[in-house]
């Protein structure tokens, strides 16, 4: 809104350097975490093998970054604090960028809004120090430093106090800094990182990740275990796929190891942490058939390609990228993840067993109740000794109608295994126990199968497991035979904006494979001629609008496929073994064998686990038999 008087013409004037830097700082430095990101990226670009970060008050009053990189000379220090001065590029090719930084904006922007001091020493040169406060550059002074660089930023935004009003609490800002360091640590597993918080003369370490060794995949796995925890490392699937010059690597967690929010999805392009809607949409699409809408996958994925194939010069914060062929990247992510999930077969996450054991622990067994006395046991007997013991303990049968011994077990009860079940000591049972899901031993409450393995027991939810098996079979049949469509007696005309029509017609071939046939109808409308028969009577306009909304938000649409597979899921639910049905031993074992051979059978259609595996050592620990 122009508030100047109508007869006074506004005059164009050149802003001074200090104002320019403060404006640039508003784009580059949003909060203390942004400053930490820029400084740590500079350290990595300098070839550092160790980066130590110290903050105070969430980074508002102090950010100190110490590295052992190549350092700078006395003559280079003033140049580093001038705008658009950088050692990363020469300006001739803005697409061939292989470093984190390249704009030359971070240091002058930080110096414009805070009190910045840089102390550095390059090999073969003396150490030097320079200070800039509120955009006012001080002289270069000699300093004492053995090597590398120390950057100290105090009183961030003191020169622009209005920005301080938008800062969050110290705790929130500290968490943001920690997240930034963790992302950079994941991108550089061969570099050591520490983050320390200094307050009132005391300090505490918030994060530490020592440099990994070995090949890239081993180093990445070790670093992810340090950053995301050993549970993730234990339940993550390795991803390694290449297509048309693109290389995708990383780790993605099993569907049963999911989160309630999209807070553990880490994406990197050529080692650079990014938050890209298209990449996040591809990750969601790869998992959408295995998770309910309120659950989110966990993954750390790295896309590597020729710098010419991706433009990182899209946003000042460099958190967004633009691919030359986004469809190729999306297809690579979806196909690689789905292949890895299929290769995992019936596997479910180990945290399911941990949660089960936690729920089974008796009250009062925690540390607050004091130490629990250990109960020592003899070595577990072998199979031959067990058979002899079972024979010796069996009750003596009596002639009918008299029966002695365990007569109550002769009646029907929920935990009984039918008489035609193989005995525990037979060769057939021993063979089944060596299989991943073991040999069926009992059915309890007419819904849960108890199976015995060589190392423990498996508890299977028979309805959820069979529901997944039927669902996968129906999906396979739909993929082989296609989706039947039904022609509308009168085509439904949907009026849209011209760009929306163009977006829909671009994906018309994919929609046709799913049974939805559309075609242009004039300049601003489309005609829906056929819809998927499986959906029955549908509101074609509402479906088209849902597809458009997904296209605008994610760059692709899964609306039709999601509806089709939701119906298949309901059909599978009604066609699967119901809870409350009594199963014979051979039926239970057949279900276990089919689960072992069917991909994704470790979780039901809603992402919940279909079975829990408990190790015998864990069970014994519940009873104090350690």
pLDDT band at 446 (very low <50, low <70, confident <90, very high): confident
Number of Cβ atoms within 10 Å of the Cβ of 442: 18
Max avg pLDDT among 122-131, 274-283, 580-589, 612-621 = 122-131
pLDDT per residue over 278-298, tens digit each? 888 889 888 887 887 778 899
**Residue 207, Ramachandran bin (φ over 0: left; ψ between -120 and 50: alpha; else beta):** beta
Task: Give the pLDDT confidence score for residue 532 in this predicted structure.
Answer: 83
Are 89 and 202 in contact by the 8 Å Cβ rule? The answer is no
Pick the CATH number of 17-207 from 3.90.79.10, 3.30.565.10, 2.60.40.2470, 3.40.470.10: 3.30.565.10
Are 186 and 222 in contact by the 8 Å Cβ rule? The answer is no
Instruction: Give the CATH fold of the 216-344 domain.
Output: Ribosomal Protein S5; domain 2 (3.30.230)
pLDDT band at 428 (very low <50, low <70, confident <90, very high): low
Task: Give the pLDDT confidence score for residue 408 in this predicted structure.
Answer: 41
Q: Which of 421-430, 566-575, 592-601 comes out lowest in average pLDDT?
A: 421-430
Task: Give the pLDDT confidence score for residue 223 in this predicted structure.
Answer: 94
Higher pLDDT, 316 or 145: 145
Task: Give the pLDDT confidence score for residue 23 in this predicted structure.
Answer: 63
In sequence order, the β-bridge partners of residue 203 are 198
pLDDT per residue over 172-222, tens digit each? 999 999 999 999 999 999 999 999 999 887 889 999 999 998 888 899 999
pLDDT band at 45 (very low <50, low <70, confident <90, very high): confident
How is domain 413-626 classified at the architecture level of CATH?
A: 2-Layer Sandwich (3.30)
Task: Give the pLDDT confidence score for residue 451 in this predicted structure.
Answer: 92
- Residue 236 pLDDT more than 50? yes
Q: Which of 326-330, 374-378, 388-392, 467-471 comes out lowest in average pLDDT?
A: 374-378
The 8-class DSSP code of residue 348 comes to -
Q: What is the mean pLDDT of residues 48-58?
A: 95
CA 537 to each of CA 488, 489, 541, 565, 574: distance values in angstroms, whole numbers, following the listed order: 10, 12, 12, 16, 21
- Domain ranges (residues) in the chain: 17-207, 216-344, 413-626
Are 212 and 219 in contact by the 8 Å Cβ rule? The answer is yes
- Residue 410 pLDDT more than 60? no
Are 485 and 513 in contact by the 8 Å Cβ rule? The answer is no
Task: Give the pLDDT confidence score for residue 125 in this predicted structure.
Answer: 92
DSSP collapsed to 3 states, 14-61: CCCHHHHHHHHHHHHCCCHHHHHHHHHHHHHHCCCCEEEEEEEHHHCC
Number of Cβ atoms within 10 Å of the Cβ of 574: 10
Helices (H), 151-287: 161-164, 170-187, 216-228, 230-234, 277-287
Q: State the chain's mean pLDDT as an integer.
A: 79
In sequence order, the β-bridge partners of residue 450 are 442, 459
Q: What is the mean pLDDT of residues 327-356?
A: 83
Task: Give the pLDDT confidence score for residue 416 in this predicted structure.
Answer: 47
- Residue 409 pLDDT more than 50? no
Q: Which two tokens stand for residue 305?
A: 């390609």
353 contact partners, CB below 8 Å, separation of at least 6: 612, 613, 614, 615, 618
Task: Give the pLDDT confidence score for residue 400 in this predicted structure.
Answer: 52
- Residue 419 pLDDT more than 50? no
Task: Give the pLDDT confidence score for residue 199 in this predicted structure.
Answer: 84
- Residue 411 pLDDT more than 70? no
pLDDT per residue over 63-77, tens digit each? 999 999 999 999 888
Please tell me whether residue 133 adopts helix, strand or coil conformation.
strand
The 8-class DSSP code of residue 296 comes to B
Q: Which two tokens stand for residue 97?
A: 């960028």
- Residue 330 pLDDT more than 70? yes
């Amino acid at each position: 809104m122009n508030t100047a008087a109508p007869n006074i013409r506004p005059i164009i004037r050149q802003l001074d350097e200090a104002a320019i830097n403060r404006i640039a700082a508003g784009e580059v430095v949003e909060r203390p975490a942004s400053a930490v990101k820029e400084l740590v990226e500079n350290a990595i670009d300098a070839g550092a093998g160790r980066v130590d970060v110290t903050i105070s008050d969430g980074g508002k009053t102090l950010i100190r970054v110490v590295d052992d990189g190549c350092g700078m000379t006395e003559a280079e220090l003033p140049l580093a604090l001038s705008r658009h001065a950088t050692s990363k590029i020469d300006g001739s090719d803005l697409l061939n960028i292989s470093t984190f930084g390249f704009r030359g904006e971070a240091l002058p922007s930080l110096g414009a809004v805070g009190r910045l001091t840089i102390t550095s020493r390059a090999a073969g040169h003396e150490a030097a120090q320079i200070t800039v406060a509120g955009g006012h550059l001080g002289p270069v002074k000699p300093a004492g430093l053995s090597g590398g660089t120390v950057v100290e930023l105090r009183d961030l935004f003191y020169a622009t106090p209005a920005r301080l009003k938008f800062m969050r609490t110290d705790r929130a800002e500290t968490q943001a800094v920690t997240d930034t360091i963790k992302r950079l640590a994941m991108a550089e597993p061969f570099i050591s990182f520490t983050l320390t918080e200094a307050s009132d003369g005391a300090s505490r370490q918030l994060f530490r990740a020592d440099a990994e060794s070995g090949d890239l995949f081993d180093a990445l796995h070790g670093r992810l275990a340090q950053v995301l925890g050993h549970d993730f490392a234990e339940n993550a699937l390795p991803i390694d796929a290449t297509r048309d010059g693109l290389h995708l690597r990383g780790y993605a967690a099993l569907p049963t190891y999911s989160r309630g929010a999209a807070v553990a999805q880490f994406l990197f392009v050529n080692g650079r942490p990014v938050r890209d809607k298209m990449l996040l949409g591809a990750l969601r699409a790869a998992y959408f058939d295995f998770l309910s809408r309120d659950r989110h996958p966990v993954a750390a994925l790295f896309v590597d390609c020729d710098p010419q194939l991706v433009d990182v010069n899209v946003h000042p914060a460099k958190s967004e990228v633009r691919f030359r062929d986004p469809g190729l990247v999306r297809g690579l992510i979806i196909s690689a993840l789905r292949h890895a999930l299929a290769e995992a077969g019936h596997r479910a996450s180990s945290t399911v067993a941990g949660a089960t054991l936690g729920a089974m622990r008796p009250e009062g067994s925690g540390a607050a109740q004091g130490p629990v006395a250990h109960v020592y046991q003899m070595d577990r007997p072998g199979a031959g000794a067990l058979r002899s013991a079972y024979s010796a303990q069996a009750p003596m049968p009596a002639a009918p109608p008299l029966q002695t011994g365990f007569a109550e077990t002769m009646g029907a009860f929920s935990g009984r295994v039918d008489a035609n079940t193989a005995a525990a000591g037979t060769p057939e049972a021993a063979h089944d126990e060596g299989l991943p899901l073991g040999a069926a031993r009992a059915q309890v409450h007419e819904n849960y199968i108890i199976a015995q393995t060589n190392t423990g027991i498996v508890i299977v939810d028979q309805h959820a497991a069979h529901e997944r098996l039927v669902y996968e079979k129906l999906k396979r049949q739909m993929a082989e035979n296609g989706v039947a469509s039904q022609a509308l007696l009168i085509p439904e005309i949907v009026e849209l904006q011209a760009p929306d029509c163009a977006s829909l017609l671009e994906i018309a071939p994919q929609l046709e494979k799913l049974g939805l046939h559309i075609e242009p109808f004039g300049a601003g409308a489309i005609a829906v001629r056929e819809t998927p028969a499986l959906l029955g009577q549908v509101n074609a306009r509402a479906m088209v609008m849902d597809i458009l909304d997904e296209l605008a938000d994610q760059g692709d649409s899964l609306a039709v496929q999601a509806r089709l597979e939701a119906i298949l899921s309901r059909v599978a639910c009604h066609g699967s073994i119901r809870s409350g049905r009594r199963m014979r031993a051979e039926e239970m074992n057949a279900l276990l064998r089919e689960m072992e051979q069917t991909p994704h059978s470790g979780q039901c259609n809603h992402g919940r686990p279909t079975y829990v595996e408990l190790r015998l050592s864990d069970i014994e620990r519940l009873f104090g038999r350690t």
